């Protein structure tokens, strides 16, 4: 799902200004044939069609580019529940659908009325009535359009994750997660000597044997519940729902600004439900004394890759035995 490519949603004012301006341009079209009554009918008919076309085209685009929760993998539905008001979102999509119906209905109605009318003034009045109705329809969904635009900005922060075996790199800001992701997968995620460089979730891929594995770099925090920001909520969901294996990055050097004690606390918070592997970063900056205490937990990037491979095999074997027991 392309959450990054959803185009902006226009306001009621921009939509109407644009549609009415285009209609005025149509209204000055020359070369219409027939008697004066036929020409007036055609002109007004063209304006009405043009308004309908412009609005329908834009609202259809909104309808087509915003994902409906029904079409999304479970992970993204959960993510939506955490980050936007899902009921309000569904209501807003339904409102766009409703507006499309009304616009098409009024266009058909008023064109019919105009072509039946034999009075110049009456035709002008009908046109004006149509504009009023259409403006009122679009105004009625303005709140919904604004809500969709706000949702779009939130969707843009969503990670692009696939449903495959997933390794999550987890740990405090600035400990070296993105550097490790780059070492492991060869991607080029941004790294920097200050915290919160990674504002959304970076992804890379590795192949172990014949298995393709997704590796996500997930920012960590000790905040809970209400105190979590948008990215932290996403991180927690990725960790709980998506991760098959977690690699926890410890920075023992002190350069990240987080004490070893704090890092151990975050490590313990993960719980025991998932397989957790440890990676020690910044060994070149770490004091010998601390290093000797932690040496037994050290694995190189290659060794960790092998361990991930073992977990993929285990999961595959588990799935096979589950499949057999279902038969
Ligand atoms: N000397 C040394 N520096 C490292 C090592 N690993 C990471 N760094 C540096 O530590 C800083 C932070 O690394 P990042 O990989 O950006 O850390 P991060 O955990 O992704 O940080 P956030 O995205 O902010 O959460 C960068 O300046 C890296 O170059 C290492 O093994 N040795
Ligand atoms: Mg990072």
Domain ranges of the chain: 12-155, 166-326
196 ligand 1 Cβ < 6 A: yes
Best substitution site from 188, 192, 253 to test ligand 1's pocket, by max atoms within 8 Å of Cβ?
Answer: 192
Per-residue pLDDT at 326: 62
Indicate whether residue 235 lines ligand 1 (CB < 6 A): no
Q: How many CB atoms lie under 10 A from the CB of residue 252?
A: 20
Q: With CA atoms as reference, report the closest residue to 137 among 255, 52, 258.
A: 52
Distance CA(227)–CA(222), nearest Å, equals 10
Contact residues for 239 (Cβ-Cβ < 8 A; gap 6+): 168, 170, 218, 246, 270
Are the CB atoms for 61 and 143 separated by under 8 Å? no
Protein residues near ligand 2, an ion, with CB under 5 A? 178, 197-198
Q: Dump the DSSP string for 216-272.
A: EEEE-----GGG--HHHHHHHHIIIII-SEEEEEEE-SSTTS--HHHHHHHHHHT-S
Alpha helices, DSSP H only, in 66-168?
74-83, 86-116, 120-140, 142-155
Torsion angle defined by CA atoms of residues 219, 4, 215 and 205, in that order, rounded to the nearest 10 degrees:
-150
- If the chain, 327 residues long, is cut into consecutive pieces of 10 residues, what is the mean pLDDT of each piece? 88 95 82 85 94 97 95 90 94 98 98 95 96 98 98 88 90 93 86 66 87 87 71 83 94 95 92 93 94 92 94 82 68
What's the gap in Å between 306 CA and the centre of ligand 2? 23
CB of 140 closer than 6 angstroms to any ligand 1 atom: no
The CATH number fitting domain 12-155, selected from 1.10.630.10, 1.20.140.10, 3.40.50.300, 1.20.120.1190: 1.20.120.1190
- What pLDDT was estimated at residue 275? 94
Residue 4: DSSP 8-state: S
Q: How far is the CA of 1 from the centre of ligand 2 (A)?
A: 23
If residue 302 lies in a helix (H) or strand (E), which one and from where to where?
A: helix 301-326
pLDDT value of residue 299: 93
Q: What is the pLDDT of residue 188?
A: 79
pLDDT of 34: 81
Ligand 1 proximity of 301 Cβ (cutoff 6 Å): no
Q: What is the pLDDT of residue 223?
A: 66
**What is the 322 CA–ligand 2 centroid distance (Å)?**
37
Q: Are 41 and 123 in contact (CB under 8 A)?
A: yes
Q: Which residues are within 8 A (CB) of 282 and not within 5 positions of it... i.e. 6 or more apart?
A: 175, 176, 251, 252, 253, 255, 256
Q: Alpha-carbon dihedral of residues 127, 129, 133, 138, nearest 10 degrees? A: 50
Instruction: Look at residue 197 in the predicted model and tell me its pLDDT.
Output: 61
The atom number, within ligand 1, closest to the CA of 219 reads 25
CA-nearest residue for atom 25, ligand 1, is 173
Q: Please name the fold of domain 166-326.
A: Rossmann fold (3.40.50)
Q: What is the pTM of this model?
A: 0.77
CA triplet 192, 193, 196: central angle to 5 degrees? 65
């Amino acid at each position: 799902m392309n959450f990054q490519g959803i185009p902006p949603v226009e306001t009621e004012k921009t939509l109407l200004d644009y549609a009415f301006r285009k209609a005025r341009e149509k209204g000055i079209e020359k070369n219409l044939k027939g008697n004066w009554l036929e020409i007036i009918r055609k002109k007004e008919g063209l304006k009405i069609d043009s308004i309908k076309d412009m609005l329908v085209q834009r609202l259809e685009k909104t309808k087509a580019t915003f994902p409906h929760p029904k079409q999304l993998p479970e992970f993204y539905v959960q993510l939506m529940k955490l980050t936007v008001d899902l009921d309000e979102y569904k209501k807003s999509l339904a409102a766009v659908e409703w507006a499309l119906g009304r616009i098409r209905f009024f266009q058909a109605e008023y064109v019919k009325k105009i072509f039946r009318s034999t009075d110049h003034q009456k035709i002008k009045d009908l046109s004006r009535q149509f504009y009023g109705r259409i403006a009122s329809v679009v105004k009625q969904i303005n709140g919904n359009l604004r809500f969709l635009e706000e949702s779009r900005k939130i969707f843009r922060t969503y990670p692009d994750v696939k449903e495959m075996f997933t390794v999550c790199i987890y740990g405090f800001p600035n400990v070296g997660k993105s550097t490790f992701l780059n070492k492991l997968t060869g991607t080029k995620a941004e790294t920097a000597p200050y915290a919160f460089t990674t504002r959304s979730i970076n992804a890379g891929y590795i192949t172990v044997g014949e298995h393709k594995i997704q590796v996500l770099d997930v920012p960590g925090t000790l905040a809970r519940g209400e105190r979590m920001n948008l990215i932290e909520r996403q991180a927690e969901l990725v960790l709980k729902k998506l991760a098959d294996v977690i690699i926890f990055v410890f920075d023992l050097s002190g350069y990240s600004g987080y004490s070893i004690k704090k890092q151990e606390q975050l490590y313990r918070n993960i719980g025991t439900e998932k397989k957790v592997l440890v990676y020690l970063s910044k060994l070149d900056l770490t004091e010998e004394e601390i290093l000797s205490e932690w040496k037994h937990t050290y694995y190189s990037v290659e060794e960790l890759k092998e361990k991930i491979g073992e977990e993929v095999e285990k999961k595959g074997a588990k799935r096979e035995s589950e499949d057999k027991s279902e038969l």
